[in-house]
Amino acid sequence: MSTPTHLDLRLLRAFVTVAEELHFTRAAARLYVAQQALSRDVRRLERELGSELFVRTTRQVTLTADGVRLLPYARAVLQAQDDLLAAAGQARPLLVDLNTPGLGTPRRVLHRARELAPGHELMARYESGLTWAAGELLAGRLDASFGRFAGLAPALRSGLGQQPVRYEPMAVLLPDDHPLAARAEVPLAALAGETVYAGAGNPRTPEWTDLARQLFQGRGIALAPPAPLAVGEEEFQRVMAGTRYPILAVVDFPPLPSMVLRPLVDPVPLSPVSLVWRKGLVHPALEALRRSAAVVGAERGWLRMPEEGWVPASDSVVMTSG
């Protein structure tokens, strides 16, 4: 076994988790990573140490003699890291951006995380858009957020980690006297000739406007021009009441006065939601938030793609690589 000058603690955690589970699929689920990514991490650690740590067969995974010898030392290193972070003040609140008050997906994940980590404080923030929140994450003013990761600029994505959470069905908010308001659901083709608001001009949400642009392309649906930036529920309602445009939303969007929310179908457009955080962030409540996203998503089937679901190809790649 060779002696590297530096070891990535993430690789040690991957090794310990596989050693405890003796099963790559179960270990990957514990770490909220794809099995292929976990296998790559273990192989990288083996290369850096110059030693095979596991014997892998089609039926089982077992530790080699070197793996058995390394395991207690790896556990001690990880425990030392946890102790150091606790001493350095990792008990501070985890600041979690929920985008907009009332949105169901982030709120459900946060509430379950609070149940999973009652000893830690998870504080909600409302930054209204992942692009804006991403800058706050990188600056250290936020710790986690939710949204469409594929819609971020590469320069922002490079400093962030992400975990797929949900394919959230999209909907349209209509004035209650709109001709389509009487329908239980609205086929996309029925919006041909309409002008729909999707945040155009809002510097906080270009990832959402881009998703709408791709959805509307070739369907005869126009993207509404920029409206004055409205911050806060009351201001948003006032500005939208003045334009009377239908509004692209998601099925969990909170109700607005004098408007009705209708699911979109044929196809079912999906808003890809990821949990996003700053790379290198270590906080015990972040682990609870990631575990909550995985648990709630599994319970509700959030990552099952509907038969007639639609997402851009770039989002499909992101949502299967977290």
Could you report the per-residue pLDDT of 227-245, keeping only the tens digit for each? Answer: 767 666 667 677 666 678 8
| Domains: count for the chain | 3
Taking alpha carbons only, the member of 110, 109, 104, 31 closest to residue 251 is 104
Per-residue model confidence (pLDDT) at position 320: 87
Per-residue model confidence (pLDDT) at position 231: 65
Distance in angstroms (rounded) separating the CA atoms of residues 107 and 228:
27
Per-residue model confidence (pLDDT) at position 4: 59
Which of 234, 249, 269 marks a domain boundary? 269
* Inside any domain, residue 282: yes
Query: What are the 10-residue block averages of pLDDT along the chain, 322 residues in total?
Result: 68 91 86 81 91 90 93 89 65 86 88 91 88 93 96 94 96 92 96 92 90 96 82 68 84 86 96 95 89 94 92 93 66
Whether residue 265 is found in the same domain as residue 173: yes
Whether residue 118 is found in the same domain as residue 176: no
Determine whether 80 is exposed, middle or buried from the number of CB atoms within 10 Å of its CB (0-12, 13-18, 19+).
exposed
Which of 53, 69, 87 marks a domain boundary? 87
Whether residue 143 is found in the same domain as residue 264: no
Distance in angstroms (rounded) separating the CA atoms of residues 269 and 168:
8
Per-residue model confidence (pLDDT) at position 253: 86
Could you report the per-residue pLDDT of 93-121, keeping only the tens digit for each? Answer: 899 999 887 778 999 999 999 999 888 88
Determine whether 281 is exposed, middle or buried from the number of CB atoms within 10 Å of its CB (0-12, 13-18, 19+).
middle
Whether residue 21 is found in the same domain as residue 69: yes
Whether residue 163 is found in the same domain as residue 274: yes
Per the structure, the complete domain to which residue 159 belongs is given by 94-167+270-319
Per-residue model confidence (pLDDT) at position 255: 80
CB atoms within 10 A of CB 321: 13
Distance in angstroms (rounded) separating the CA atoms of residues 90 and 87:
7
Per-residue model confidence (pLDDT) at position 322: 58
Whether residue 147 is found in the same domain as residue 278: yes
Per-residue model confidence (pLDDT) at position 233: 66
| 54: β partners | 63
Which of 32, 63, 87 marks a domain boundary? 87
Whether residue 30 is found in the same domain as residue 74: yes
The CATH number covering residue 72 comes to 1.10.10.10
